[in-house]
């Protein structure tokens, strides 16, 4: 039996109300009501776990504490011990990170004539993109248009998005879909070739292109293969950047890489640098579990901040409303939003709907938090985690038997490993740290305020305002990755590099010393989270065979 | 953050990491058990959610020599499990331009790219290995027959963990063969999406430029008005 008996009892109530709920329509709340519920319940508006930055371009702005520590961290290199004349790699365009944004940029840079090097922390392609299940927005159906896509994106972001970025994304979207298809991506289609598109929360048209629920994986398989097949793109795995190198003209001119296994440093001189390191889920802001991959530790934010780039909406984090809560092994992992798009409702302990299942992410997350805290209508697992039900079996009742198995194979397969049959049973969900809405400030080609540096994808900010819609993250990475690759190459053909320097690092450390916080701040970038239990704890436990709280973190 | 320790009585299990014994609490995955043992993983860890194939793991039991396969982030530990991760396995991928791979009658592009696949003798180790439960040998047979569509369908859930290649006695790389097949299918054989091509053309011709420029300049009040007035298409 998958769920303990007391949880099964709540499932019986959910099943009893299903016939009624199939016809029950809960209206979407208005944009004014949205502002109210978000302010009251969304984790971004909590006062705890935050502090003001003491230095750098965003000085005096409030950020989540974990991010603030990374931004204000100590450099991992001692500039006096690095010989900048010993260049290991000399290239036109250096790309740091190899997710969807990095690899899109690499391909476009190569096509435009650049010699490209990709440096990546884990394996080529390991990234949040690979776990993107839902899909990619593009207004390409006849009753849709980039104009509607623009409006949806703005509304979802509480109208705080940067207009020129939304314009670029909505406009380029159909081209990005075609580009990927030409590379050999298998989009879900009807037999006549028309795309099978879904409507995710906050969208007024069916616009999300998917590849079953393996959308990001399918794209990454193809992009990675294409990168390997092309001349003039080299890549180094398990070798992240730990600091950007500048020249005496104030331009970004390369990076220092570290071999994670031998700790050897290598220097890259590059005419243009594209930082595509993604987000920060593994910082676990506000103590949340995360859907993010192992390497999502805000490296690019820390490095870009140190060379003088400012952040926009750095304090805005997306907590995805449907992170798994049970079983324990799956805490925090993503239940794709396609479940809601297909009709999956969010249900409390008594079998009642919590809110309209098509509310945007921050709104539904806020409703769930209200339901589980103030209203005490959540379901508590044996491990003490709280969540609400997502009624997946309803999908087969709406769309016909077999729909769940066909449209959500990875989800069904995963839970079956723990004897939970999602075709017949609901899944328990709660908000989980999913995405960094903001990031490094950039223009419509992903160029930052510092010459020589581009930031496509999740590391860049502004396009999503303070809340991203489903299907706009994978779109963002292809659109801005392609733009960055093209523009960085154009720039690389013209730029004259001066003398390489790490004076910005010296200056940074001086400021930390002057503020008296050198010892209080960690080294950054973090590179990898450390979930390893410490040896001293291990010995203690070995004798008592009893666990202490807080030692083992999951997912 | 969920804490294992919140369970009142935790059963401790013996596991063997590369032959060395550790006591770990039940309920952990292979990955979190390694971390419990004190390993700070560098290779062999990616999405931590069963998508990326970074954590391919081989295991058996002290009392049962049969070799088994799993993703470290997905498999729960069991008593007397002996585990080792295979985070990397050498495989030489064919290099090609998908534009040169148009399938033609009487030609088998997959055999041209990977001639070795003809040496498959059907031992079925690949299928037994796959942590995604794919019919690997069956899609390899389809590849040998040149049935690209079948390869694409049967291999769609492949995570490219590489365990099949690690266990193939002939040194074949089923995951790379399948990747080439899917790219050929997506590029040449899947029906074209006319509405997407039409929209791309419209955008290139500048059809939406005027309206998008207007929106870019519109005030927040104006945007809110237009947003509220959108007609919402019923979800399908």
Q: What is the pLDDT of residues A30-56, one digit of tens each?
A: 988 998 999 999 999 988 899 999 999
- Asked if the C-beta of A67 comes within 8 angstroms of chain B's C-beta atoms, the answer is no
**Is A542 a residue whose pLDDT tops 50?**
no
- Asked if the C-beta of B4 comes within 8 angstroms of chain A's C-beta atoms, the answer is yes
What distance in Å separates residue A373's CA from the closest CA in chain B?
16
Mean pLDDT, residues A298-309: 98
* pLDDT tens-digit readout, B21-42: 999 998 899 999 999 998 999 9
Q: Percent of chain B scored above 90 by pLDDT?
A: 91
**Is A432 a residue whose pLDDT tops 90?**
yes
* pLDDT tens-digit readout, B44-63: 999 999 999 999 999 999 99
Residues 104-123 of B with CB under 8 A from A: none
The CA distance from A260 to A122, in Å, is 9
Which chain A residues are closer than 8 Å to B48 by Cβ?
293-294, 333, 555
Q: Which of A21, A340, A361, A441 is catalytic?
A: A340
- Nearest-10 crossing angle of helices A361-372, A31-41: 50
Where does A259-376 show beta strands of DSSP type E?
265-275, 311-312, 317-324, 345-347
The CA distance from B72 to A250, in Å, is 45
Q: Is A506 marked active-site?
A: no
Checking DSSP bridges between strand A241-247 and strand A252-258, what pairing results, if any?
antiparallel
**Is A537 a residue whose pLDDT tops 80?**
no
**Is A2 a residue whose pLDDT tops 90?**
no
Taking an 8 Å cut-off on Cβ atoms, the answer to whether A148 and B37 are in contact is no
* pLDDT tens-digit readout, A155-164: 999 999 999 9
pLDDT at A47: 85
- Asked if the C-beta of B49 comes within 8 angstroms of chain A's C-beta atoms, the answer is yes
pLDDT at A199: 87
* pLDDT tens-digit readout, A185-244: 999 999 999 999 988 889 999 999 999 989 999 999 999 999 999 999 999 999 999 999
Q: Count of CB atoms within 10 A of residue A249's CB?
A: 14
pTM for the full predicted model: 0.94
How many CA atoms lie less than 13 Å away from A404 in the CB half-sphere? 24
- Asked if the C-beta of A135 comes within 8 angstroms of chain B's C-beta atoms, the answer is no
Taking an 8 Å cut-off on Cβ atoms, the answer to whether B2 and A328 are in contact is yes
Higher per-residue pLDDT: A165 or A31: A165
- Asked if the C-beta of B8 comes within 8 angstroms of chain A's C-beta atoms, the answer is no
- Asked if the C-beta of B61 comes within 8 angstroms of chain A's C-beta atoms, the answer is no
Q: Percent of chain B scored above 70 by pLDDT?
A: 95
Of the candidates B49, B195, B211, which has its C-beta nearest A131's C-beta?
B49
Element (H, E) at A341: helix A338-341
The CA distance from B88 to B95, in Å, is 20
The CA distance from A166 to A40, in Å, is 28
One-character DSSP codes across A400-460: -TTHHHHH-HHHHHHHHTTT--TTTS-EEEEEEEEEES-EEE--TT-B-SSTTEE--GGGE
Of the candidates B185, B191, B215, which has its C-beta nearest A150's C-beta?
B215
* pLDDT tens-digit readout, A342-362: 999 999 999 999 999 999 999
- Asked if the C-beta of A552 comes within 8 angstroms of chain B's C-beta atoms, the answer is yes
Domain ranges of chain B: 10-85, 98-189
Q: Is A340 marked active-site?
A: yes
Which chain B residues are closer than 8 Å to A49 by Cβ?
none
Mean pLDDT, residues B150-173: 96
One-character DSSP codes across A375-398: S--SEE-TTS-EEEEEE-THHHHH
**Is A5 a residue whose pLDDT tops 50?**
yes
pLDDT at B234: 83
Looking at residue A130, the DSSP 8-state letter turns out to be G
- End-to-end CA gap in chain A: 23
Residues 148-167 of A with CB under 8 A from B: 148, 150-152, 154-155, 159, 163-164, 167
Taking an 8 Å cut-off on Cβ atoms, the answer to whether B215 and A148 are in contact is no
Residues 440-499 of A with CB under 8 A from B: none
The CA distance from A342 to A352, in Å, is 18
pLDDT at A546: 46
What is the architecture, at CATH level 2, of domain B10-85?
Roll (3.10)
Of the candidates A123, A128, A193, which has its C-beta nearest B191's C-beta?
A193
pLDDT at A539: 46
Of the candidates B28, B51, B74, which has its C-beta nearest A217's C-beta?
B51
ipTM higher than 0.85?
Answer: yes
Q: Which of A42, A149, A224, A320 is catalytic?
A: A320
* pLDDT tens-digit readout, B59-114: 999 999 999 999 999 999 999 999 999 999 998 899 999 999 999 999 999 999 99
**Is A550 a residue whose pLDDT tops 50?**
no
- CB–CB contacts below 8 A, A to B: 284
* pLDDT tens-digit readout, A446-464: 999 999 999 999 999 999 9
* pLDDT tens-digit readout, A67-84: 999 999 999 999 999 999
The CA distance from B29 to A328, in Å, is 10
pLDDT at B211: 95
Mean pLDDT, residues B154-167: 96
Query: Structural domains in chain A?
Result: 5-41+320-431 (3.90.700.10), 79-316+437-503 (3.50.50.60)
Element (H, E) at B138: helix B136-145
Asked if A98 and A118 touch (Cβ cutoff 8 Å), the reply is yes
Nearest CA in chain A to B185: A184
- Asked if the C-beta of B92 comes within 8 angstroms of chain A's C-beta atoms, the answer is no
The CA distance from A94 to A239, in Å, is 13
């Amino acid at each position: 039996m998958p769920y303990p008996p007391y949880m099964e009892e709540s499932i019986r109530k959910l099943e009893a109300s299903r016939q009624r709920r199939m016809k029950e329509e809960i209206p979407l709340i208005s944009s004014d009501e949205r502002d109210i519920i978000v302010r009251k319940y969304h984790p971004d508006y909590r006062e705890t776990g935050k502090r003001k930055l003491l230095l750098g371009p965003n000085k005096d702005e409030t950020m989540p504490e974990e991010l603030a520590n990374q931004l204000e961290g100590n450099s991992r290199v001692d500039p006096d011990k690095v010989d900048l004349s010993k260049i290991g790699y000399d290239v036109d365009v250096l790309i740091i990170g190899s997710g969807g944004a990095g690899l899109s940029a690499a391909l476009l840079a190569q096509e435009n004539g650049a010699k490209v090097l990709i440096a990546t922390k884990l394996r080529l392609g390991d990234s949040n993109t690979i776990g993107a299940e839902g899909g990619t927005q593009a207004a390409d159906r006849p009753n849709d248009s980039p104009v509607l896509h623009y409006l949806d994106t703005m509304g979802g972001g509480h109208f705080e998005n940067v207009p020129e970025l939304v314009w670029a994304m909505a406009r380029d979207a159909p081209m990005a879909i075609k580009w990927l298809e030409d590379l050999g991506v298998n989009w879900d289609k009807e037999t006549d070739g028309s795309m099978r598109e879904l409507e995710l929360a906050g969208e007024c048209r069916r616009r999300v292109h998917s590849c079953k629920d393996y959308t990001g994986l399918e794209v990454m398989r193809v992009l990675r293969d294409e990168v390997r097949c092309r001349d003039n793109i080299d890549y180094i795995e398990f070798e992240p950047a730990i600091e950007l190198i500048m020249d005496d003209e104030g331009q970004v001119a390369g990076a220092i890489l570290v071999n994670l296994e031998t700790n050897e440093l290598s220097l890259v001189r590059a005419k243009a640098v594209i930082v595509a390191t993604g987000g920060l889920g593994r910082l676990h802001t506000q103590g949340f579990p995360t859907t993010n991959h192992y390497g999502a530790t805000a490296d690019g934010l820390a490095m870009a901040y140190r060379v003088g780039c400012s952040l926009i909406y750095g304090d805005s984090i997306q907590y995805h409303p449907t992170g798994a809560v049970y079983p324990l092994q799956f805490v925090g992992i993503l239940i794709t939003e396609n479940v809601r798009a297909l009709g999956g409702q969010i249900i409390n302990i008594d079998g009642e709907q919590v809110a309209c299942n098509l509310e945007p992410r921050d709104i539904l997350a806020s409703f769930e938090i209200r339901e589980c805290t103030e209203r005490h209508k959540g379901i508590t697992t044996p491990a003490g985690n709280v969540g609400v039900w997502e009624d997946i079996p309803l999908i087969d009742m709406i769309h016909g038997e077999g729909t769940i198995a066909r449209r959500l194979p990875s989800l069904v397969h995963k839970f079956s490993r723990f004897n939970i049959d999602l075709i017949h049973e609901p899944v328990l969900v709660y908000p989980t740290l999913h995405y960094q809405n903001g990031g490094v400030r950039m223009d419509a080609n992903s160029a930052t305020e510092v010459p020589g540096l581009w930031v496509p994808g999740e590391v860049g900010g502004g396009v999503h305002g303070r809340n991203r819609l489903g299907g706009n993250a994978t779109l963002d990475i292809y659109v801005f990755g392609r733009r960055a690759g093209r523009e960085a190459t154009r720039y690389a053909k013209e730029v004259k590099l001066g003398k390489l320097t790490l004076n910005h690092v010296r200056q940074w450390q001086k400021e930390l010393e002057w503020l008296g916080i050198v010892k209080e701040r960690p080294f950054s970038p973090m590179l990898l989270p450390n979930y390893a239990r410490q040896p001293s704890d291990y010995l203690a436990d070995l004798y008592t065979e009893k666990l202490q709280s807080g030692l083992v973190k999951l997912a | 953050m969920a804490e294992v320790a919140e369970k009142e009585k935790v059963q401790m299990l013996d596991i063997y990491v590369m032959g060395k014994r550790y006591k770990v609490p039940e309920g952990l995955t292979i990955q979190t058990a390694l971390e419990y043992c004190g390993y700070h993983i560098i290779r062999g860890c990616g999405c931590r959610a069963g998508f990326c194939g970074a954590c391919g793991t081989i295991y058996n039991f002290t009392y049962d020599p049969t070799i088994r396969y799993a993703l470290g982030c997905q498999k729960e530990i069991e008593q007397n499990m002996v585990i080792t991760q295979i985070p990397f396995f050498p495989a030489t991928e064919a290099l090609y331009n998908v534009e040169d791979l148009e399938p033609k009658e009487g030609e088998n592009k997959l055999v041209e790219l990977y001639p070795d696949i003809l040496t498959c003798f059907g031992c079925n180790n690949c299928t037994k290995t796959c942590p995604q439960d794919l019919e690997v040998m069956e899609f390899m047979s389809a590849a040998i027959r040149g049935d690209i569509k079948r390869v694409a369908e049967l291999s769609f859930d492949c995570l490219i963990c590489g365990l099949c290649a690690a266990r193939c006695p002939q040194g074949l790389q089923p995951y790379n063969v399948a990747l080439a097949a899917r790219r050929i299918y997506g590029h040449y054989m899947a029906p074209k999406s006319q509405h997407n091509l039409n929209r791309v053309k419209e955008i290139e011709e500048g059809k939406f430029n005027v309206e998008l420029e207007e929106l870019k300049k519109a005030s927040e009040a104006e945007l809110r008005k237009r947003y509220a007035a959108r007609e919402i298409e019923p979800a399908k």
